Structure 1
Amino acid sequence: MFRNAVITGACGGLGQALAQELMASGAQVALVGLNRPALQALAALAPDRTRIYTPDVSDASAMQAMASEWLAHHGTPDLVIANAGVAGGFETADPADLVVMRRMLEINLLGAATTFQPFLQAMLDSQRPGALVGVASVAGWRGMPGNGAYCASKAGLIAYLQSLRAELRPSRLTVHTISPGYLRTALTAGNTFAMPGLLEPEAAARALLQGVARGREHIVLPRRIGWLSQALSLLPARWHDRILLGQPRKPRAHQAGATPIPGLSDTHTSS
């Protein structure tokens, strides 16, 4: 099992569950997130083996500073999980939503690169096995009405991870793409549409870590949601779109039930 791990988005949901699993196994864990009280409560479970960091994952300089401190005090990680992510509805006709899309891309897509980059050379130099894990989504497999920003960010992440995996084939590092369906977290709490295969984050964390340890490069959580998505993709595009158009849409940033997106101006979220 992994002994030295870095996890972004560790404040709750899947990230928190991953941290708890790793800490329970005896690993040293860098807890990265924006909610310091939540991270402090989590770190209290293993204070001698954890450190708390609160950078914006889209800020490359802040992420490099975090990585430098972790490397200096705890050494080179054998597991880096880019889990930080935000979600929300998107309407192309509304110019205010362009800000939402930019911020979502910064966190969900750029944030993965800024998470891996500061650790990559040290992991390569160690010549030891290691894993880079990106938490994407089945939403990255196909665009959905009213969810263009999120789908685009996760589709971009999937492509980025494919590229990184190819680049690192000659090394002892592996790259893993995680595609969750619906997890019971704050990101799905405001959803009013059906969420088939809804999975608890603790179960998802265990399956993710087991899959990565076994070398699985593509992990869908739960597997049956992947089968459902693939089955729907066999339909003609017009039929598929018609089914999706009949579903309620994810709340946008200013609507009831929307989850907060860090870095968005108050003028947008309250408009």
Structure 2
Amino acid sequence: MPVVSLPFRNAVITGACGGLGQALARELLAAGAQVALVGMNREVLEALAASAPGRCAIYTPDVADSVGMQALAADWIQRAGLPDLVIANAGVAGGYETAEAGDLAVMRRMLEINLLGPATTFQPFVVAARAQPKHRCALVGVASIAGWRGMPGNGAYCASKGGLIRYLESLRAECRGSGLSVHTVSPGYLRTALTAGNRFAMPGLMSPEDAAHALLAGVARGREHIVLPRRIGWLSRLLSCLPARWHDRLLRSQPRKPRVGEAGATAIPGLNPPPGP
């Protein structure tokens, strides 16, 4: 893995408990950065923080809670100053079936975390950065290849990530000419808890460590659109050239992602009440 010098000295990472979040935190901490670790599993965050005493702070708000995220930002800025990197990485995934009324709660919660979450994460730091126009900060949103096109049985996740991609496009346009840069990351399949229960082929499966390295290197180089790995982006674009009915037929023949309550499904924090299988 080529060594890339990271310019980041002050970072905020949401979803720091997950595979990609932990890998991002470890690489930034190894490079000497101060890191705000944001997640819902304090034990995991404490283990990460123990690797770099004095350079981390732990926060456990719901990323969809704007008041909680504003308090987090104010506390971190007071402790460490304005960040030069904010990564909105928190995300959840799960199968979705429109015919199941209980799955409407799944879609609502997924949109709260995957789409509203990045906005509530960025908002207080955008305000603070605009008050210091010379300050440079990279805002990174972790979307997904799944946001490029809808997939059967995965409507909630695809909608949340597709919406995130469009939100980041809008934010990028708003930030042109300022010290804020906006970066859209579209991973394919990463070897994490979110994909562990998948029952279908996952071409280009990537380790969280390799993904984190490529993500940070891409942002450091100023790339606004990052696909992990690159070849999965080309494959997705190639498939999109097929007539829609052929593409849909191909995807419908594949096993669907497990829904909440089914074997292999990942938990969605804050989902209340959880739907049955």
2:147–2:161 contact (8 Å) kept in structure 1: yes
Structure 2: which 5+ residue stretches go unaligned?
A: 1-6
Per the alignment, residue 174 of structure 1 pairs with: 181
Task: Note if contact 1:78-1:123 (Cα within 8 Å) is conserved in structure 2.
Answer: no
The correspondence for 1:55, drawn from 61, 64, 80, is 61
Q: 2:262 is matched by which residue type in structure 1?
A: Q
Aligned partner of 2:107: which letter? Answer: M
* Alignment-derived partner of residue 154 in structure 2: 147
The one of 208, 218, 230 equivalent to 1:223 is 230
Q: CA deviation at 1:12?
A: 2.2
User: What residue in structure 1 maps to residue 3 of structure 2?
Assistant: none
Match of 2:264 in 1: 257
User: Which runs of structure 2 are paired with 1:26-105 in the superposition (5 Å)?
Assistant: 26-105=32-111
1:158 maps to a residue whose letter is I
Match of 1:119 in 2: 125
- Match in the other structure for 2:191: 184
C-alpha separation in 2, matches of 1:43 and 1:208: 21
- Per-residue CA deviation, residues 39-68 of structure 1 (Å, 9 max, x unaligned), is 000000112100000000001111111111
1:247 maps to which of 251, 254, 258: 254
Other-structure match for 1:201: 208
Using the TM superposition, give the Cα deviation of residue 269 of structure 1 relative to its aligned residue in structure 2, in angstroms.
4.3
Q: Deviations over 1:237-266 (max 9, x none)?
A: 00000100010000000111000000112x
Contact 2:95 2:154 in 1 (8 A): yes
CA shift, 1:173, in A, is 1.2
Residue number in structure 2 paired with 1:23: 29
Aligned-pair distance for 1:270? 4.7
1:67-108 CA deviation, whole Å, 9 max, x = no partner?
111011111000000000000000001111000000000000
Query: How does the TM-score come out when normalised to structure 1?
Result: 0.98
Q: Percent identity?
A: 74
Alignment partner of 1:248: what SS?
A: coil
Aligned-residue CA RMSD (Å): 0.8
Q: How far has the Cα of 1:227 moved from its partner?
A: 0.4
2:220 partner letter: A
Q: Give the residue type in structure 2 aligned to 1:27.
A: A
Question: 2:174 is aligned with what amino acid?
Answer: E
In structure 1, what is the equivalent of residue 12 of structure 2? 6
Render the CA deviation track for 1:162-197: whole Å, top value 9, x for unaligned: 000000002021100000000000000000100000
Cα distance in 2 for residues equivalent to 1:4 and 1:258: 34
Match of 2:4 in 1: none
CA distance in 2, matches of 1:17, 1:156: 25
TM-aligned CA deviation for residue 18 of structure 1: 0.4
Moved over 2 A (4+): 267-271
The runs of 5 or more residues in structure 1 that have no matched partner are: none
The answer to whether the 8 Å contact 2:103/2:275 transfers is no
